[in-house]
Amino acid sequence: MSRPLSDHEKRKQISVRGLAGVENVTDLKNNFNRHLHFTLVKDRNVATKRDYYFALANTVRDHLIGRWIRTQQHYYEKDPKRVYYISLEFYMGRALQNTMVNLALENACDEAMYQIGLDMEELEDMEEDAGLGNGGLGRLAACFLDSMATLGLAAYGYGIRYEFGIFNQKIVSGWQVEEADDWLRYGNPWEKARPEYMRPVHFYGRTEHHPDGVKWVDTQVVLALPYDTPVPGYRNNVVNTMRLWSAKAPCEFRLQDFNVGGYVEAVLDKNLAENISRVLYPNDNVSSSQLPSAVRRIMGWIIMRHVGDLQWQEMIVVVVVMMMMMMMVVVFLTTLFLAQFFEGKELRLKQEYFVVAATLQDIIRRYKTSKFGSMEAVRTDLDGLPNKVAIQLNDTHPALAIPELMRVLVDEEMLTWENAWDICVRTCAYTNHTVLPEALERWPIDLFQQLLPRHLEIIYEINRRHLERVASLYPGDVDRMRRMSLIEEGGQKRVNMAHLCIVGSHAVNGVARIHSDILKATVFKDFYEMDPYKFQNKTNGITPRRWLVMCNPGLAEVIAERIGDDFIRDLDQLKKLIKFVNDDAFIRDVAKVKQENKMKFAVHLEEHYKVKINPNSMFDLQVKRIHEYKRQLLNCLHIITFYNRIKKEPNKHWTPRTIMIGGKAAPGYHTAKMIIRLITAIGEIVNNDPVVGDRLKVIFLENYRVTLAEKAIPAADLSEQISTAGTEASGTGNMKFMLNGALTIGTMDGANVEMAEEAGEDNLFIFGMRVDDVEAMDRKGYNALEYYNRIPELKQAIDQIAGGFFSPKQPDLFKDIVSLLMYHDRFKVFADYGDYIKCQEKVSALYKNAKEWTKKVIYNIAGCGKFSSDRTIAQYAREIWGMEPSLEKFPAPDEKR
C-alpha cells in the first residue's frame, strides 16, 4: 500500500542519502514493545498515546546512552579543556525529533511506528516543550549546546531545572491569561537524576575574620540535586551534557517525631527551600520593579499545586491546624510567607547564586579528579584552572560566578588574592545581551548583605582594587570613577552586575556587530577605553538542524538536490545557491515548498482560531516577546492603515495579507498586556468586516513557543523585524525566517544589518531611522504630535484607537496606549511610521510578482551561511575559550542488545 511521504521521510532523503538500513526497524519495534511492557508496565490494550510517546522516547534514548558514556569517557581520558556555559535559561523545546535527526534514526523510527500502526506526528505532539527560557537568550543557549556537540567541543550547559517553565499563555476575551507550565507532570524521559553529585549551597549567615582566613558561618543550606540531559551532536556520535540543578531541602521529616505546629513549620520551611528551582522568572528585558507582582502571581500556581501534593496524613494535620488557628496563625503565616519569601528580588537572587555555587563546586570537582597524562591523579594546583576550564556567563544572571570563584579560591583553597584574581579573570568571559538600561541588573546592597554577606565583602574588595586602577590611569577624574564603580551610590546603593562581569572577565562580547559597537561607544565606553582588548563581537546564530532540516524538510530537500547535504554541517555551502537564482525549476521548487507549508499552517490556524485563511495571501509574521522596543504597535498602525485603505477603496486590487503577531507579555508588564489586547481588538473588527473579506486577516498566535515556531516560520512570507534602531541586540528569529525563505521588512538594527550585507540590501525591505538618526533625534527632542498632525492616515488610526472604534463597548480601553504613543514613547513609533508604510507598499507590489519575490528569497537563503550557530561557537572557541573545534567523528558504540 503506497502512502504519501511524511516529513520524516523528506528529512531521510536529504540526511540519510546512501545510508539505507542504518537502523534495524525490527530491533526498534522490539525495543519499543519492551519499553511499553517493562518500563511503562502497559500493554496495547490499555496504552495511551502518551504511553506510546514515552515508549518511543525511551527507545530513542537507548541509542544515546552508549554514545553519552563513550563521550564522557573520552573527555576523562584525553582531559581536553572544557567549556561551561552557565545560563539561567535553556529554551530547549522538544527533544524526540531533534534526537532522531541528529542520530540518523528518524527514517527507521518512522517506519517502525508505521508498521506498528502509530502516527509519528501524533506521538511527537505528546511531548511537552522544555520551556525553560523566556525567548531569544534561552533559545540561543539551546542552539549553542547543539553546535558545541556538533563541533566536538567538551562542553557542558549548566542551569536550573525549573519545575514550572515559561507560563502557558491563554487569550481569554482578548486578554492574556497566564497558566502554569507544569511540563514535568508526566515525567521527563530525557533526564537522569544524579543524587551522587548533590552539592550544598549556602545562604544568609555572617562572616568571621580570623588570622588564617575568613569563615562564612551560621548559614542556611539548600541542596542542589543535578539532573543530566544528553545533548547529541549531528551524526558525530558526540553526546554532551546539560546539567540542571534542582533545589532540595537538606533534611527529611518523619511523621512520628513531630508535634503539630513544629511539623507544619518544618514542611513550610522545606517548601521554601525548594522554591528556588520552582519557577522560571517570566521577565524579558523589563524592569526589576515588575518582578514581585509577577512572582506572586506565579507562586499562586505553586501553592495550589503543592496543596494537591500533600499526603493524606499531612492533609489531616493541615486541616486541624487551620481549624484551630484560622483567624490568627494562618493570616500571620500567609502574610509572612508572601512578605519574606515571595518577594521577587530575593528569590531571583537566590536562583542566580544557587546555580553558580552548585556549578562551580562541580567544575572544581571535575578539574581536580580528571585523568591526565598516562596516570590517574588528583590535581591540587589550581593555577592551571584557566588552561582546562572556560566559563561563559550568558548575560549578567550568572555574574555571581565571579565573587563565588574568588570565595572558593581565597577562603577554601587558601590562594592569595592576586593569584585567585588572575585565575578568575582568565577563566571567565561575559556575553552581554541588551543595551536597555532597565534590563541591566542592579542588586540592592541591603539584599546582598542579608543573603550573601561574604560575597558583598568580596565585591567591595574587587571594586576597591578596580577603582585604584582607574584612579592611576585617569588621575583626578572623579566622575569617571563614579561611572565605572561596581557600586552605584545615590539613593539605594546597588551592585552593578554588568560592571562586575566586565571587570572579572577576560573577554566581553556583544551578539551582533552593531550591538558590540554600541556597547563600546556608549553603554561601556569607559571600560572599553580602559581595556579595549577585552571587547569582541560574536554575532548570534541558529542551528540549521532544528531550524531547517527538522522544521522545513521540504526546503532542505530542494536545497540538497542542488548542492548536496553538506550544508547541514557547513551552512556557508548555501552560497552555492546563487547560481540557481535564475533557474526556473529551482524557483518553482522553492515556491512550491513555501505554498505547501502555508497550506499546512492554514489548516492549523483554521482549526485553532476558527478564522478562514486565504492560503494565497501573504503570510506576514511578527513573533517575539511583546515589548515596546520591538514595536508591535508600529505593526498595529500598519494593520489599521491597510484596513482603512481597503474600506476606502474596496474595489481596488489589494495584495491580500494574513498578519500574525505572537509572543508573551511578562505578567507584570502592563503595557505589553495592553498591546496584546489592542492586537486582538483590531482582529475582532477586521476579521468580521464583510467589506474586507479575506484580503486582510489578523490573528494573535496564542502561546508562542518553540514548537509553534517550528510550524509558523516555514510558512512565513514576510518577517517583521521593526525595532527602533539601536535597541535590539541581535535577534535570532530574524535568522530563522531568512533561512526558511521569508523576506525581511526591518530597520537597520541588531543582526538585520549583517543580514542585509550577506543577502544584499536590495533583497531586504529596509526602512526607518538608523542609529545615528535616533541619536540625533534624542538630542533634538522627539515630538510625536508633529507626526500626528502632519500625517493624515496616522492621525486617523490613532483617533480610531482613542475613540473606541476597536473597543466600542469600552471606548477608553486603550487610552493608556494612545497616551504612551503621543507623549511618552521612548521608541519613536511615529517617527518611522511614514517610511514603514511606504516600505510595506513595496512589499505588496513585489508580492504580486511571484517569480521576482522568490528570486529575492533565494538570495536570502544563499546569504544565511554566516548565521549558523556553528560559526558563532567556532568563534567563541577560538577567540575566547582557547579551544579548537573538531569535525572528528567518534566511533559508534556497539548497540546490539
Give the contacts of 266 (CB within 8 A, at least 6 positions apart): 253, 258
Query: One of 677, 736, 828, 856 is an active-site residue; which one?
Result: 736
**270 to each of 265, 278, 302, 306, 446, how far by Cα in Å?**
9, 12, 14, 12, 25
pLDDT > 90 in the chain, percent: 82
Give the contacts of 170 (CB within 8 A, at least 6 positions apart): 176, 177, 178, 179, 702, 703
Match 496495547 to its residue by C-alpha cell: 44
CB distance 194 to 227 below 8 Å:
yes
**245 to each of 186, 227, 592, how far by Cα in Å?**
19, 6, 46
DSSP-derived 3-state class of residue 745? strand
The mean pLDDT of 640-662, rounded to a whole number, is 97
Chain-centroid distance of CA 535 in Å reads 24
CB distance 488 to 494 below 8 Å:
yes
CB distance 447 to 352 below 8 Å:
no
What is the DSSP annotation of 486-535? SEE-SSS-EEEHHHHHHHT-S-EEESSHHHHHHIIIIITHHHHHH-GGGE
The mean pLDDT of 436-457, rounded to a whole number, is 94
- Element (H or E) spanning 201, and its range? strand 199-203
836 sits in the region (left: phi over 0; alpha: psi -120 to 50; else beta) called alpha
| Integer Cα distance of 288 and 607 in angstroms | 38
> How high is the pLDDT of residue 261?
64
Query: One of 12, 515, 630, 638 is an active-site residue; which one?
Result: 630
> How high is the pLDDT of residue 517?
97
| Integer Cα distance of 110 and 497 in angstroms | 49
How deeply is 328 buried, as exposed, middle or buried, from its count of CB atoms within 10 A (0-12, 13-18, 19+)? exposed
> How high is the pLDDT of residue 380?
82
| Integer Cα distance of 238 and 67 in angstroms | 6
**pTM for the full predicted model:** 0.92
Helices (runs of H) and strands (runs of E) counted in the chain: 36, 25
152 sits in the region (left: phi over 0; alpha: psi -120 to 50; else beta) called left
pLDDT surpassing 60 at residue 315: no
| Integer Cα distance of 808 and 174 in angstroms | 14
**74-102 pLDDT, tens per residue?**
999 899 999 999 999 999 999 999 999 99
pLDDT surpassing 60 at residue 341: no
> How high is the pLDDT of residue 460?
98
* Cβ atoms within 10 Å, residue 259: 8
Q: What is the side-by-side strand order in the sheet with 494-496?
A: 442-444, 494-496, 487-488
CB distance 544 to 571 below 8 Å:
yes
Query: One of 10, 82, 248, 625 is an active-site residue; which one?
Result: 625
Q: Are strands 508-510 and 535-537 parallel, antiparallel or unpaired?
A: parallel
> How high is the pLDDT of residue 74?
93
> How high is the pLDDT of residue 326?
47
Of 317, 307, 236, 238, the C-alpha closest to 271 is 307
Of 626, 631, 681, 635, the C-alpha closest to 657 is 635
- What letter represents residue 488's amino acid? E
Tell me which of 106 and 325 has the higher pLDDT. Answer: 106
To 10 degrees, the CA torsion angle through 446, 449, 452, 454? Answer: 150
Across 664-749, the runs of DSSP E, i.e. the strands, are 696-701, 718-721, 743-746
- What letter represents residue 195's amino acid? P
> How high is the pLDDT of residue 11?
54
Across 713-829, the runs of DSSP E, i.e. the strands, are 718-721, 743-746, 765-766
CB distance 187 to 40 below 8 Å:
no
Of 619, 574, 575, 614, the C-alpha closest to 594 is 619
Of 862, 854, 783, the C-alpha closest to 821 is 783
3-state secondary structure 335-371: HHHHHHHCCHHHHHHHHHHHHHHHHHHHHHHHHHHCC
pLDDT surpassing 60 at residue 374: no
Least confident of 148-152, 273-277, 425-429: 273-277
Q: Which three cell numbers stand for residue 662?
A: 505572537
CB distance 841 to 745 below 8 Å:
no
Tell me which of 41 and 18 has the higher pLDDT. Answer: 41
> How high is the pLDDT of residue 338?
36
**485-507 pLDDT, tens per residue?**
999 998 889 999 999 999 999 99
27 sits in the region (left: phi over 0; alpha: psi -120 to 50; else beta) called alpha
> How high is the pLDDT of residue 297?
53
Q: Which three cell numbers stand for residue 520?
A: 563600546
The mean pLDDT of 144-159, rounded to a whole number, is 98
Chain-centroid distance of CA 821 in Å reads 29
Query: One of 624, 664, 673, 697 is an active-site residue; which one?
Result: 624
Is 624 assigned a catalytic role? yes
| Integer Cα distance of 733 and 766 in angstroms | 17
**697-708 pLDDT, tens per residue?**
999 999 999 999
Is 433 assigned a catalytic role? yes
- What letter represents residue 742's amino acid? A
**829-845 pLDDT, tens per residue?**
999 999 999 999 999 99
Give the contacts of 579 (CB within 8 A, at least 6 positions apart): none
Match 530547549 to its residue by C-alpha cell: 92
Query: One of 278, 433, 520, 664 is an active-site residue; which one?
Result: 433
| Integer Cα distance of 298 and 280 in angstroms | 9
> How high is the pLDDT of residue 250?
87
pLDDT surpassing 90 at residue 362: yes
pLDDT surpassing 70 at residue 685: yes
Bridge partners of 231? 240
Buried b (16+ CB within 10 A) or exposed e, 193-223: eeeebbbebbbebebeeeeeeeebeebeebb
> How high is the pLDDT of residue 439?
83
| Integer Cα distance of 356 and 707 in angstroms | 29
Q: How many CA atoms lie within 13 A of 810 on its CB side?
A: 8
| Integer Cα distance of 327 and 278 in angstroms | 29
CB distance 295 to 344 below 8 Å:
yes
**251-292 pLDDT, tens per residue?**
765 545 445 566 677 766 777 888 999 999 887 666 554 555
| Integer Cα distance of 99 and 165 in angstroms | 21
Q: Are strands 82-86 and 743-746 parallel, antiparallel or unpaired?
A: unpaired
Q: Where do the domains of the chain lie, and which CATH numbers do they carry?
A: 1-78+95-128 (no CATH), 349-387+396-540 (3.40.50.2000), 581-770+827-859 (3.40.50.2000)
**544-577 pLDDT, tens per residue?**
999 999 999 999 999 999 999 999 999 999 999 9
CA 129, 130, 135, 139 torsion: positive or negative? negative
What is the overall mean pLDDT for the chain? 90
| Integer Cα distance of 895 and 897 in angstroms | 6
How deeply is 79 buried, as exposed, middle or buried, from its count of CB atoms within 10 A (0-12, 13-18, 19+)? middle
CA 190, 193, 197, 202 torsion: positive or negative? positive
